[in-house]
Amino acid sequence: MSKGFSITLNYSIQKIYPIFLLFASGFAGQLRVVTYNLLNFPGAMGYERIRYFRQIMDYLKPDILVVQEMQSEFGMDLFRDSVLNYKGDDFSAAPFNDGPDTDNGLFYRRSKSEFIDAIYIPTVNRDIARYRIRMKDSGNEFYVFSVHFKAGAECELIRFQEAVRLRAHLDSLSDLAEYLVVGDFNFYYDESGYRRLVDSIEISPNGVRDLLALSGVWHENQTYAYAHTQSTRNERLSDGGASGGLDDRFDLILCAPNFLDTSSLFLPSESYTVFGNDGKHFNKSIISGRNYAVPDEIAKALYYASDHLPVSVIIMDGYKITDEIKDLAIYPNPMRDHAYIKLPHLDDFQKAKVTITNILGQRIYEIESINPRVVTISNDKFNVGIYFVHIRIETKYNIHNYRTKLAVVK
């Protein structure tokens, strides 16, 4: 609900179809984990907003939903029964903890995961929730921490104190622990609290990784427009939510370094999605003009449901690569006008297919080439941003997969 302190992706193709990435290879199961600030639910016109939350959840299909600004146990029951379970009985909720101010909550799809326990870490502001989750298929366990740090540009010191408390707890965990830290951090830039969480991983392995790793100021920075999560509205509505359009990156999903290897649970960095943000609504409401990330009715639901956007990632269980994926060089990188992918020499080469996605998981460029040596990419299809490049080379007898990242500058 706070408001305070962006790479603009002006997509040049006619239409962008959002894709929830399909990650090739064998795995036992996967979870979509979503964090969402519900905007003082249910007190701030909660009943009126239920129909919009239903549309969002039906479209997003979370397996674990972590929420902030939950006001009461009644609100937890109402959201579970009237939003998540209005068509069936798929979700349960972790026990509600009535701490200072508004609170965290967690809902989970019982067919995919089990809730084990929760503890609550007191801070100078709100409690931090720690939920322990077990995957149904493999029995692998991980933690989900939900935070709602103090709002306001003038409250950086309080946010730092909250981050110190959280980091101390993370450092007490086993080096093998796997965890997500999600929620409304109210960071305006890579400020002291943020750095406390992500820095010094070399000294203690229990820091967190920011999958976007954005440096500098996030607030009112159009360079990072694709990462902003508040506000969905440019004007103030009667529910009391923040106005001003999308210009703040308050809501984050951070993860333990262990989540980025493939030994157990695995979090593909490409799965990180700011749901409903197409990068084209800097300082605008998400229903201003066309929204390329979601259908119009979902953009409208996001607008009326909350002043925050949900953020999601995919967790893969029992991930095992069945076909080795190798890194491939691309140059120059960053790209200004053109970039070239030098292909490895492979006997009986037939064709190469290059697919490029943005950090939202949206496929924005695809090309096939019969040149066995190099594939050329032109900057006329991109704007400033970070992209993921996936290369599939077919030979007469085999398929070879490669990947790399591409930065685009002007």
Task: Tell me which of 309 and 350 has the higher pLDDT.
Answer: 309
**29-317 falls under which CATH superfamily?**
Endonuclease/exonuclease/phosphatase (3.60.10.10)
pLDDT tens digits along 247-264: 999 999 999 988 876 667
pLDDT, tens digit (0-9, with 9 covering 90-100), for 312-323: 998 988 644 444
Residue 109, strand partner residues: 91
Distance CA 388, CA 221 (A): 22
* Most confident stretch, 109-123, 190-204, 258-272: 109-123
Range of weakest confidence among 37-41, 44-48, 58-62, 382-386:
382-386
Percent of the chain with pLDDT strictly greater than 90? 58
Does the pLDDT of residue 93 top 50, yes or no? yes
What's the rounded Cα separation, in Å, for the pair 43 and 26? 44
309 to each of 46, 183, 222, 259, 366, how far by Cα in Å? 17, 11, 17, 24, 28
Average pLDDT, the chain: 86
| pLDDT above 70 as % of the chain | 87
Parse the chain into domains and list their residue ranges.
29-317, 325-408
User: Which spans in 143-209 are helix H?
Assistant: 156-171, 192-198
Q: Can you read off the two tokens belonging to residue 63?
A: 């397996």
pLDDT of 233 > 60? The answer is: yes
Termini Cα distance of the chain: 35
Residue 321 neighbours by CB distance under 10 Å:
14
Distance of alpha carbon 303 from alpha carbon 308, whole angstroms: 9
Q: pLDDT tens-digit profile of 356-370? A: 877 555 667 878 888
In the three-class reduction of DSSP (H, G, I as helix; E, B as strand; rest coil), residue 395 is classed as: strand
Looking at domain 325-408, does it have CATH number 2.120.10.30? no
pLDDT of residue 323: 46
Q: What is the pTM of this model?
A: 0.76
CB 219 within 8 A of CB 2: no
